Amino acid sequence: MFEKEISRSFLWLVNLCVVLSIGIIGCGGDGDGANEWVGTWALEIIDGETFEETFAEEGVDVSLDPNNWTFNADGTMEMEFGIKIEVKEEGLEISGKGSINITGTYSLSGSNYTLTPIEVEGTGLFEEEIEPVGPTDEDTGTWSRTRDTLTLNSDDGSTIVFKKK
């Protein structure tokens, strides 16, 4: 039973990472506000919780390293984040790490954004779990920035908060 819970938790983790990645990568071009996105950001909060808090509830220790989400002035985007996972329960210990690298483009129009992944690569835990991306993986929503905080409110209902590095 515990193996099924770990497998379910792992698949949920992989799916969350892919959804987050899709929700953050962009569909290119210059637009209003593009300069406010330019630079490297760190993922801080997803739907009101840190990444670590989300998994702590499941009894899983997770950390992001590296955590680099770079938006370039030309409308391209590069994302690299690594995940270290550790489960210790009932005398069972499971650990592993992997990373996801995504390239894409983004466009902004006022307070609206459009993000579409172009290429996704995974290593370690994610090497065989990454599926190809395409036009249906596009994400849209609204955004706001206050000083060093960038907030994306996806049309799918998710809210993601970044801090400027």
- Cα separation values, 36 from 89, 113, 134, Å: 44, 12, 26
Contact 100, 74 (CB under 8 A): no
pLDDT digits (tens, 9 = 90+) for 1-33: 444 444 454 444 454 555 555 444 433 333 445
- The CATH number of 2-164, from 1.10.260, 2.20.25, 2.60.40, 2.40.128, is 2.40.128
pLDDT digits (tens, 9 = 90+) for 98-124: 999 999 999 999 999 999 899 989 899
Q: Report the run of H or E that residue 109 belongs to, with start and end.
A: strand 92-109
**pTM listed for this prediction:** 0.75
pLDDT at 20: 52
Structure tokens at 67: 């955590």
pLDDT digits (tens, 9 = 90+) for 56-107: 777 788 888 899 999 999 999 999 989 898 887 777 788 899 999 999 999 9
Q: Does the structure show a pLDDT above 80 at 34?
A: no
Q: Report which DSSP code applies to 29.
A: -
pLDDT at 136: 65
Beta bridge partners of 92: 89
Structure tokens at 15: 């799916």
- Count, in order, helices (H) and strands (E) of the chain: 3, 8
